[in-house]
Amino acid sequence: MSRKDELFLLSIFMATADPETIPEELVEKEAYSVWAIPPDEVVTRLKKLMEGLRAEFGGPQFEPHATVVKAISLTPEDALNKFRSACEGLKAFNATIDRLATGTCLYLLIHPTTELAEACSHCSGHFGYKRSTPYMPHLSILYADLTENEMKKAEERANILDDSLSGLSFPITRLALYKTDPEDKTLKSWEKIAECSLQPK
């Protein structure tokens, strides 16, 4: 049987089979991430800053967030189940912005508190995510292919657009599960799949 015939038969099987009887290895996996979502008023403030930076330096549009679990390859059902499981019993926690910083992107460094590290470790455990480097919580505000000099200018511009973000504290009461294809540099395929509210502190 040719590869074409195999794919044709597989497509018929996938279209007619009960989803629960399809072997897991045949279900297409995608990249999923868990994000910590700031309160609405902080999101609004950050979006204004991000729009100002994009207008000058380009780059794709994305929602303000702090990544808790980086992109991991899972089936849609598995990702949702792991997310719901991770949210159970997890309490809200505080985040405080330390300062602006640059690297592969322009971001706001978040103070690495114990409760933040514990929330990250809790979620990573549920997703089976093994971190290769220490957790560095941050809020990205500009993804753009810039030279080091251009990134420095973007940092200076960010300080002009909003110079009072350092020291800003806010509660994280929501986590979201996002589909985040790392190959998509436009980020247009990035999509929110689910959101959960955390238990009050």
Instruction: Quote the CA–CA distance of 39 and 173 in Å, as a whole number.
Output: 8
Residues 6+ apart with CB under 8 A from 5: none
Q: Compute φ and ψ for 91, nearest 5 degrees.
A: -90, 155
- Is residue 111 flagged as an active site residue? no
- Is residue 65 flagged as an active site residue? yes
Strands 93-102 and 106-110: antiparallel
Q: How far is CA 7 from the centre of its chain?
A: 33
Pick the catalytic residue: 111, 122, 126, 138?
138
Pick the catalytic residue: 65, 111, 122, 126?
65
The residues annotated as belonging to the active site are 65, 138
